[in-house]
Structures are given as C-alpha cells and as structure tokens.
Amino acid sequence: MGLQKMKFTAIDFETANARRGSACAVGLVMVENGQIVGRLSQLIRPEPLAFDPFNVSIHGITAKEVADAPTFSECWPSLWPRITGPLVAHNAAFDMSVLRSSLDSFRAQYPETEYFCTCVISKLAWPEFPTFALNHVAREIGVSFTHHDAEEDAFACAHVAMAACKKLGASSLYDLPGSCGLRVGRLFAGGYCPCGCPRPARSRV
C-alpha cells in the first residue's frame, strides 16, 4: 500500500515544569506524499521562567538555554504557517493540552485543525507490543532517534504514523477511521474534541 496521500505535521512539546502552559521547546516534522519534507526545532521561553529539576532531568533544557528564546506568543505566528495537514503526536492528549494551554496564556484562538495520536494508532497496528511508549515503538519498527528531544520525537512520531498506516493497509491517516473505527481529534475556535480508539461495547446489566 503506497502512502502518496500521506500528508501531516508531527509535533512534540517539551515543558519546563508540571504546568501544561510551560512549553520550552517544540519540534515539527512535515510529511507530504509519504516523505519527510521539512523539520523544525524551536526553543521557547516559558512565562514565568520556572524550570522543575525533574523536567530538566528528562529533556536537559535549562532556564539559561531559553533565556533569550522567544515566548510562545512571539513564535506562534511563524510556527503555524509551517504546519500542513492534520497534526500528529505521540500521546496527543499531552501535546494538544500544551498547545491549548499555551494559546490560552495569551488568549489566542485555537487553530482549525484535526489531529491523530500515534500512541492510539500503535495499539491498533501492533496490539502485541508490551508497551506503546514512543521509544519502544520506534525501536520495534527500526527507527533510531534521541528521545525527549522535541524535533527528534516528532521525527520518530512521523515514522510511526507512516509505518502504522502501512501495517493497517491505509494510504493516509484519514483511511484509518473507516477501517479501524479510530476517532479523529479536532481543535476549533473555542474548544476541541479528543481522539481515541474504538470504545468496546458495554453489556447492559
């Protein structure tokens, strides 16, 4: 099954602390016609400039490194035009909440876009995997990357999306809802709808 219809932008955020609005880095990987056509990495200065040692231990980004970086409100106008097709993230519930919280912080309208979660899609493509963490799924499909680097995570996410579509016989992400019952997420002005797996039928008691 070819991926000529495959067009999306993989996205990954790193945060400075437990607040979802504390993005300190974002990575984008653009895919068109089943090929990676662009990559972008951007450091972000969170407001306030407060880093939790736990978060730093995961991604290695410190307050000093982002002291001269733009805030999210400053870099968003140049980031959004780079995004083509739907967004794709691994554990999209996290990344989409970071995006929403970051936009909320300066009262910006949510963009009109749909999104997919490769963690959810991986469960459909490879139900035999013992875990669906990005590093494990990537290793299983032969993708080497540096975990917890925003651009590298987006790169791995993009490859997982394409490999899963091949495994499921889908030529694009939009073929998955029909074949697997996948729920597509959506952002829109004033709100959002989450994505997810098909829900198992519940018996009446």
CA 147 to chain CA centroid, nearest Å: 14
Per-residue pLDDT reduced to its tens digit, 92-115 = 999 999 999 999 999 999 999 999
202 assigned to some structural domain: no
The range of the structural domain enclosing residue 89 comes to 7-193
Q: How far apart (Å, rounded) are the C-alpha atoms in residues 30 and 8?
A: 6
CA 34 to chain CA centroid, nearest Å: 17
153 assigned to some structural domain: yes
C-alpha distances (whole Å) from 164 to each of 76, 84, 87, 112, 197 are 30, 20, 16, 25, 14
Q: What CATH number is associated with residue 16?
A: 3.30.420.10
123 assigned to some structural domain: yes
Do residues 110 and 24 touch, judged by C-beta distance below 8 A? no
200 assigned to some structural domain: no
Q: Which helix (H) or strand (E) holds 45?
A: none
The total of structural domains in the chain comes to 1
Q: How far apart (Å, rounded) are the C-alpha atoms in residues 164 and 91?
A: 15
Listed residue (37, 31, 38, 40) closest to 3, CA to CA: 31
150 assigned to some structural domain: yes
The share of the chain scoring above pLDDT 70, in percent, equals: 95
2 assigned to some structural domain: no
Per-residue pLDDT reduced to its tens digit, 111-158 = 999 999 999 999 999 999 999 999 999 999 999 999 999 999 999 999
Give 191's strand partners: 188
Listed residue (122, 75, 103, 73) closest to 189, CA to CA: 103
Per-residue pLDDT reduced to its tens digit, 69-88 = 999 999 999 999 999 999 99
Report whether pLDDT(90) > 50: yes
203 assigned to some structural domain: no
The pLDDT confidence band at residue 204, using thresholds 50, 70 and 90, is very low
Q: How far apart (Å, rounded) are the C-alpha atoms in residues 154 and 168?
A: 21
Per-residue pLDDT reduced to its tens digit, 7-16 = 999 999 999 9
Q: What's the pLDDT score for residue 2?
A: 66
201 assigned to some structural domain: no
Interhelix angle 118-125/92-105, rounded to 10 degrees, is 170
Q: How far apart (Å, rounded) are the C-alpha atoms in residues 175 and 200?
A: 20
Q: Where are the alpha helices (DSSP H) in the chain?
A: 53-59, 63-66, 72-79, 92-105, 118-125, 134-140, 150-168, 176-180
The share of the chain scoring above pLDDT 90, in percent, equals: 88
Q: What's the pLDDT score for residue 181?
A: 77
